[in-house]
């Protein structure tokens, strides 16, 4: 690859990029071909069409970039899913929700449920968090003799913002890897962005939507089943909060030490710094948290041996697809970089005056609306925009903001091609027009305000 030079012009490269993205969308939307197969196939075709040396395409571009992406993603997604599963099966979600409602009072129950969902949204995937929390939401709304949206949208919106913006969720991890952003800095910057975005899109919109669209509490059989699945002696709220704080504290420690050594506050050659930074590295921090959770939420509560093993094993099947698709997204991004498409796009954006940050948001937004998956939209947009971001000269903290801005675009306007649209609509027993007026608006508000807060952060940190 060192001696190879791209001979195609900017217009031709951009045309190939547009055709590649269109092919991805057609294969996924029209022909319902799995995203993994689609991304691998389109990556290969794009590499051939752009003239990359055939001897280097498989090993030097496709497999290399697939492996590099998985190296930064697979452990985090797998360990994060395990941590979330242990919290879920221990009954800790219900304990924390009940404790927060008691603390804030029944009148502030929507806010309390949202805060509980934000905490559980750190390790839990969106779908799992939704299934865990909705029985509590329904029970609370019934106890208050109220309609459901004021209680449901703050909770559902909380899981959505956490899944979209924060590690260890796969989209944020993949975008961080592609943009070469520090995961700890993405987490630190993402927490206030996610909270402020949720406050507007989840909490305030939930209260407003409840008045505009009164939706009765669903009488779903599944809700009763989920309530019955809760253990008789669920884990305490304090225990669960402590366990959820462990990875955050360790990751913050790593990022803080990096900042301190870079600023000269701590000597870089101090023997204890590398050890503590290793412990605070995201995979190690999650590993430590899972080991502690295995004992506190598993072994100590009577879940031992094969039962504990099966609990953890059950998390890996559902996330394997996400991990592999993430790797394929990294592969596609690698082809775009190696072929010169990324540089051509960056140069063109500069010529027509579209800021790189806005371009990241818009590309992710278009991909999300077109094919439905926020994860695929975020990974594809990050792969496409990575060269432009690298050329823009952002500092470390600004790169974290770019990850968040791209993530904001990837969640916009959930509609009928998004599985989350149907999941939320079915669970809340809403018809399609009502789901569009409530859930789709929630997702669009997340995109708009998430981008505004991310853009402000990038400007302030420059």
Per cent of the chain over pLDDT 90 is: 35
Higher pLDDT, 394 or 268: 394
Helix (H, G, I), strand (E, B) or coil at 276: helix
pLDDT band at 362 (very low <50, low <70, confident <90, very high): very high
Could you tell me the pTM of the whole model? Answer: 0.76
**Residues whose CB is less than 8 angstroms from the CB of residue 302 and which lie 6 or more positions away in sequence, other chains included:** none
Say if CB 288 and CB 250 are below 8 A apart: yes
pLDDT band at 221 (very low <50, low <70, confident <90, very high): very low
Higher pLDDT, 403 or 90: 403
Q: What is the pLDDT of residue 114?
A: 93
pLDDT band at 394 (very low <50, low <70, confident <90, very high): very high
Q: How far apart are CA 74 and CA 69, in angstroms?
A: 8
Question: Among 392, 366, 390, which residue's Cα sits nearest to residue 380?
Answer: 366
Higher pLDDT, 372 or 257: 257
Q: How many CA atoms lie within 13 A of 443 on its CB side?
A: 26
Tell me the C-alpha to C-alpha distance, in Å, between residue 298 and each of 83, 95, 97, 291, 394. Answer: 11, 16, 20, 10, 44
Question: Among 318, 251, 280, 421, which residue's Cα sits nearest to residue 88?
Answer: 318
The residues spanned by each domain of the chain are 10-460
For the beta carbon of residue 220, count every other beta carbon within 10 angstroms: 16
Tell me which H or E stretch contains 114: helix 109-120
Instruction: With a cut of 90, say whether residue 35 has pLDDT above it.
Output: no
Express each pLDDT in 113-140 by its tens digit. 999 899 888 877 787 777 767 777 887 8
Q: How many CA atoms lie within 13 A of 91 on its CB side?
A: 15
- Lowest-confidence segment of 52-56, 266-270, 362-366 by average pLDDT: 266-270
Express each pLDDT in 409-443 by its tens digit. 999 998 877 878 888 888 888 888 899 999 999 99
């Amino acid at each position: 690859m060192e001696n190879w030079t791209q001979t195609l012009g900017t217009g031709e490269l951009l045309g190939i990029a547009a055709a590649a993205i269109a092919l991805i969308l057609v294969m996924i939307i029209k022909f319902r071909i799995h995203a993994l197969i689609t991304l691998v196939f389109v990556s290969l075709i794009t590499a051939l069409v752009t003239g990359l040396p055939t001897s280097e395409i498989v090993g030097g571009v496709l497999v290399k970039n697939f492996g590099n992406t998985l190296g930064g993603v697979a452990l985090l997604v797998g360990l994060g899913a395990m941590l979330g599963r242990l919290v879920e099966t221990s009954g800790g979600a219900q304990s924390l929700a009940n404790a927060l409602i008691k603390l804030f009072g029944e009148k502030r129950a929507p806010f309390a449920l949202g805060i509980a969902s934000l905490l559980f949204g750190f390790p839990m995937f969106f779908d799992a968090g939704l299934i865990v929390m909705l029985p509590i939401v329904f029970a609370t709304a019934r106890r208050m003799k109220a309609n459901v949206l004021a209680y449901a949208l703050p909770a559902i919106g909380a899981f959505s913002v956490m899944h979209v913006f924060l590690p260890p969720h796969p989209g944020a991890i993949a975008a961080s890897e592609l943009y070469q952003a520090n995961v700890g800095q993405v987490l630190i910057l993402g927490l206030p962005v996610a909270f402020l975005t949720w406050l507007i899109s989840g909490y305030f919109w939930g209260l407003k939507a409840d008045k505009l669209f009164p939706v009765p509490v669903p009488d779903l059989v599944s809700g009763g089943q989920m309530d019955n699945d809760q253990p008789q002696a669920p884990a305490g709220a304090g225990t669960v909060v402590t366990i959820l704080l462990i990875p955050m504290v360790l990751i913050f420690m790593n990022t803080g030490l990096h900042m301190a050594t870079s600023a000269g506050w701590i000597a870089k050659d101090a023997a204890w710094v590398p050890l503590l930074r290793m412990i605070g590295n995201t995979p190690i921090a999650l590993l430590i948290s899972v080991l502690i959770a295995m004992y506190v939420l598993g072994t100590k509560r009577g879940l031992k041996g094969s039962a504990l093993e099966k609990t953890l094993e059950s998390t890996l099947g559902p996330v394997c697809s996400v991990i592999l698709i993430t790797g394929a997204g990294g592969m596609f991004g690698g082809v775009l970089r190696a072929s010169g498409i990324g540089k051509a796009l960056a140069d063109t954006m500069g010529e027509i005056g579209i800021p790189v940050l806005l371009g990241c948001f818009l590309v992710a937004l278009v991909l999300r609306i077109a094919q439905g998956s926020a994860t695929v939209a975020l990974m594809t947009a990050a792969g496409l925009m990575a060269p432009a971001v690298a050329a823009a000269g952002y500092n470390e903290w600004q790169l974290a903001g770019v990850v968040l801005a791209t993530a904001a675009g990837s969640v916009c306007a959930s509609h009928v091609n998004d599985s989350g649209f149907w999941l939320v609509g079915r669970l809340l027993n809403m018809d399609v027009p009502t789901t569009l007026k409530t859930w789709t608006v929630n997702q669009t508000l997340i995109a708009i305000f998430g981008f505004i807060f991310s853009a402000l952060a990038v400007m302030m940190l420059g």
